[in-house]
Structure 1
Amino acid sequence: MNTQSPVITVLMPVYNGEKYIKEAIISILNQSFRNFEFIIINDGSTDETENIISSFKDNRIRYVKNQKNLKLIKTLNYGIELAKGKYIARMDADDIAMQDRLEKQLDQFLLEDKIDMVNSQCLLLNEDGNKSRKNRTNISLNYEALKYVSIFQTMIVHPAVMIKTSVIKRFKYSDQPNAVHLEDFELWNRLFENNIVCYTIPEPLLYYRLNSESITNTNSKQQQERIRKMTISILNNYGAEIDNEALDLIQGQCEKCNFKMLKKTDLYLCNFFLKIKKHDLISVEGYSDLLLWKDFKISYVSIKSFKRSSIYNKIGILFFLATKTPSIINIKLIKKIF
């Protein structure tokens, strides 16, 4: 290991990652910014993961092997304790970092001292390695808006995050039962409740792999139910309640929708965000981004469910979208999506 004190710690846990880990490691070692340590924690893998890691002879790599499978949260917290860098950049063993990822994220910290965490957009990568498309379900938001939108939807790309080491060592990932399989969703909301500032770079700096064997996919039903409960709990802290249908629609758990559901959800979000504004909890710019996200989310759900809907409901969806046309064609929103 290089004796020079690293500016950044790249933290990558891995369990049975032989299929993609070589690409992930190469993408980090080839970064344009060079002053980092690369902590790779093998969480008890039983495949060729260890041999692949050992084949790299780069003194920036700090290889750590758990004697048994500790699972993701404990492994991440262990890595956080080991980190020597001023900033920690998360990385997953099945993703690919763009060559200037670390450099561009570090630049944001140096530009604005109040920033605690830097997020970025990502491009989606299928299991065959084909680089497909931009993640259209996420848009870049003002840091204030991000706090309230994150109650409903994870807008932060977990393996694309860089965060101040002092911040993540203070908060860490929760190992409580209600945080299992949604450690990122729980952490972001806890950070925002403590006024942590997150800036989102509006360009992709990571290829995020759509992996059918990932925790998100193998535990999706359990994960969604826990996210739902956590969302309701956070809303209750704001003195707000939400209709079950509206929450299903916002969180993508509604297979079909109709005019009544869309109207109800739109009104709920309008009222909740207006309440935030009236209590002086957000700036004019932040409030504007909340409304942009609302229009984006409801329009996205409407269009996605259109094909599966009956003729009657299709007419209702089209009528709803027609009433929202000025919002949908908002130039600022279009720029954020594309």
Structure 2
Amino acid sequence: MTVSVILTSYNQAKYIHQAIDSVLNQTYTDFEFLIWDDASTDNSWDIIESYRDERIKVFRNETSKRGIHALNKGILEETDGKYIAVHHADDVWEPTKLEKQVAYLESHPDIGAVFTNAMAIDENGAIFEDKDHFYYSIFDQPNRSRYEWLNFFFYQGNALCHPSVLIRKECYDECGLYRFGLAQIGDFDMWIRLCMKYDIHVIPDQLVRFRVRENEANSSGNTPVTRIRRMNEHFIATQNFSKITSKDTMRKIFPRAEKYMEADGFVPEFILAMMALENNSWRDVKLFGLSLLYELINDREKSQKIKELYDFDYLDLVSLSGKHDVFNVEELNNNVIRLFIDYGEGFSGKNFLEQYVSPHDKVQTFVFDLTEQSDIRSLRCDLLDESCIVYIEKVALIGYDGVEIDLIPELRTNALIDEGDVYYFDTEGPQIQFNAIERDVLSGCQSLCVQIKYLYFGKEALAECVKKLKSEKNKSLKLLLTRDNHHKIVFFGASGALEKQFDSLLEHRIVPDYICDNDIRKHGQLFRSSVPVRSPDEVLCQDSNFYVLITSSYIDSIKHQLQKYTNIVKIMSLTDIK
């Protein structure tokens, strides 16, 4: 037996038929097929038992134990294959997947596991169209050495598709099985341990169709529970890097660690901590780095060593611990979304549900459980306790039958500016309310799903609101901000006045295509090392239309000079757009 396929399933009756068929229809046929049902409450088990194929072995848990139980028990006790393939009941394999992967491992004995690219599909099997979604292209990865993969894992996270893997069974013997307790990133933890000992390969073909469920229903979906759990688990998985003890290995994984490589000594924990505290690290990785330093500083022998080698002591650690905000102390202020419930007496400050808003995830989905709520009259959702700019992608009531009622047509907001689906909220507490919804509709609903793309928070949002208001009231400013590609912006006057206003203009997205000046001594020079200064004729005699912003104090004389150019659509001065 060459391959053992393990398919895990929990309440996937809608998809499991297609998943099982995609294994049985493989062009490579030398495999055993373990299907493990995790105490499903739908008719998944009936579907599983309906198959009659000698390669299939079926198992069923009496109580739900999650997929990791089936994987570990299957690998350890039930599989006979040389290679192990993992499959999920809501995903689909392409027919040549196993054939191509087995061929690769057979011809590359030094490779521990082979993955493939994956195509994201939606609930109904159609190609996923949301290009901004995490799963749209995350699995489209180049091949890397195991050291480069470890660097990627450390700073970026996971980008390997679990149901695409074909792995040598011996790798589990050498690296260990999946670790219990890691519900979100058990596979990621496995890949770190794998790459500590083996190289891997990614076949660029999309040989898996990875299903992206609605309302973030994937076990790895972007919900508050999974975000919180994922961060906690990521901290645990990162500790695998503590096993690095070789100077050569440290160099290969972290090229930037070279500056810490002293000829007369090597403290791997210190170097790993310094790598963890780099600016592009995750917050939990920074916490891991600080934890390593606390341990080093309180180890008399090692603290003396890092003082000698790196001139680092406890005072440096005290400085670092105040610099890295690993618990979001500053950013968590007011970052919650609240659902206020009116039971007939209006909205009060005590009747609400709330969830945490991540300052890092632009698109976020919040599902509020309404099963314990009765006699709801109306709902109001406060998006934050501070100014923000959001794109409201979805607001829907979800019934017990799974049917959704779209509330966006009924949506009302206190937005300062409304541009279709993009809302500019000031500091008055961004709110969305709903026009009258019949009480029987509310009482028949299990949850409210709110999906929002947060564009700006806090001060940035307020600044954008101000810019927007100014552009709405100031026709000249609006003209510059909304111009199309057929109109060029010219700053006329490379003067002290422009020097003072240049950064402010750029900040407000008013960027010149050209800068002109009458002083021939300035021609050809770069203004602020970015834009070359040219003569008026060199620019304005081109076959284009121009908006000219006079950035000199000689406004009247320049306006008179510009009359000869017929392709100038609008002449403005700095005072016009102030």
Output the TM-score relative to the length of structure 1. Answer: 0.69
Q: Let me know the Cα RMSD of the aligned residues.
A: 2.9
Is contact 2:5-2:33 (8 Å) kept?
Answer: yes
Instruction: Say if 1:19 and 1:169 are closer, same or farther in 2 by CA, change over 3 A.
Output: farther
Overall identity of the aligned pairs, in %: 25
- Distance in 2 (CA, whole Å) between partners of 1:26 and 1:125 is 17
Task: Return the match for 1:174 from 170, 173, 179.
Answer: 179
Return the offset for 1:224.
Answer: 3.1
Deviations 1:103-158 (A, max 9, x none): 01101101111011001110001112112368423422223322221223112111
Alignment match, 2:190: 187
Pair 1:235–1:241, CA change in 2 (3 A):
farther
Question: Partner of 1:91: helix, strand, or coil?
Answer: strand
Q: Which residue in the other structure is 1:301 paired with?
A: none
| C-alpha deviation, 1:78, in angstroms | 0.8
In structure 1, the residue matched to 2:103 is: 107
Return the offset for 1:61. Answer: 0.7
Aligned residue number for residue 89 of structure 1 = 85
Deviation, structure 1 residue 18: 0.6
Give 1:101 shift: 0.3
1:1-338 equivalences under 5 Å are 6-81=1-76, 82-132=78-128, 135-138=136-139, 139-144=141-146, 145-151=148-154, 152-170=156-174, 171-175=176-180, 177=181, 179-193=182-196, 195-211=197-213, 212-217=216-221, 219-230=225-236, 233=239, 237=269, 238-242=272-276, 246-247=280-281, 254-255=360-361, 310=464
Change (3 A) 1:233 1:29: same
> Which is further off, 62-71 or 233-242?
233-242
Q: Within 2, Cα distance between the matches of 1:225 and 1:243?
A: 16
Aligned equivalents of 1:249 and 1:17: distance in 2? 35
- The aligned counterpart of 1:318 is none
**Partner Cα distance (1:313, 1:84) in 2:** 64
CA distance, structure 2, for counterparts of residue 111 and residue 214 of structure 1: 35
1:244 Cα shift? Answer: 8.7
AA in 1 matched with 2:231 = E
Provide the secondary structure at the position in 1 that maps to 2:81: coil
Change in 2 beyond 3 A, CA 1:155/1:61? same
- Between 1:137-146 and 1:156-165, the stretch displaced more is 137-146
- Using the alignment, how far apart are the partners of 2:87 and 2:157 within structure 1? 21
Letter of the 1:201 partner, please give it. I
For structure 2, list consecutive stretches of 5 or more residues without a partner in the other structure. 130-134, 243-268, 286-357, 363-452, 468-505, 510-578
Following superposition, the deviation at residue 22 of structure 1 comes to 0.5
SS of structure 2 residue aligned to 1:94: coil
Contact 2:193 2:240 in 1 (8 A): no
Question: TM-score, normalising length from structure 2?
Answer: 0.41
Q: Which amino acid in the other structure matches residue 118 of structure 2?
A: C
CA distance in structure 2 between the partners assigned to 1:98 and 1:249 by the alignment: 38
After superposing the two structures, state which structure 1 stretch, 245-254 or 105-114, moved more. 245-254
- The aligned amino acid for 1:174 is R
Contiguous gaps of at least 5 residues in structure 1 = 1-5, 257-304, 316-338
Partner letter of residue 141 of structure 1?
A: N
Shift of 1:66: 1.7
Structure 1 residue 214, shift from structure 2 partner:
2.1
Relative to total residues, which structure has the larger helix share, 1 or 2?
1
CA distance in 2, matches of 1:220, 1:313: 37
**Cα deviation digits, residues 283-311 of structure 1 (max 9, x gap):** xxxxxxxxxxxxxxxxxxxxxx9965758
Does structure 2 retain, via aligned residues, the 8 Å contact 1:182–1:223? no
Quote how far apart the aligned CAs of 1:227 are: 4.6
Give yes or no for contact 1:9–1:83 (8 Å, CA) kept in 2. yes
Shift of 1:228: 4.4
Instruction: Output one character per residue of 1:22-79: Cα deviation in whole Å (capped at 9) or x when no partner.
Output: 0000111000001111100111111101111111111111111122212222221011
Cα separation, 2, equivalents of 1:198 and 1:41: 27
Asked whether the equivalents of residues 121 and 204 of structure 1 are also in contact (C-alpha less than 8 Å), the reply is: yes
Aligned CA distance change for structure 1 residues 117 and 181 (closer, same or farther; 3 Å): same
Aligned counterparts of 1:253 and 1:150: Cα–Cα separation in 2: 22
Q: Check 1:31–1:242 CA distance in 2 against 1; reply closer, same or farther (3 A cut).
A: same
Q: Helix, strand or coil: the match of 2:111?
A: coil
SS at match of 2:273: coil
Q: Secondary structure at the match of 1:53?
A: helix
Assess if the C-alpha contact under 8 Å between 1:119 and 1:161 holds in 2.
yes
1:247 maps to a residue whose letter is S
User: Number of matched residues?
Assistant: 259
Q: Is the 8 A contact 1:235 1:241 kept in 2?
A: no
Secondary structure of the structure 2 residue equivalent to 1:240: helix
SS of the equivalent of 2:98 reads helix
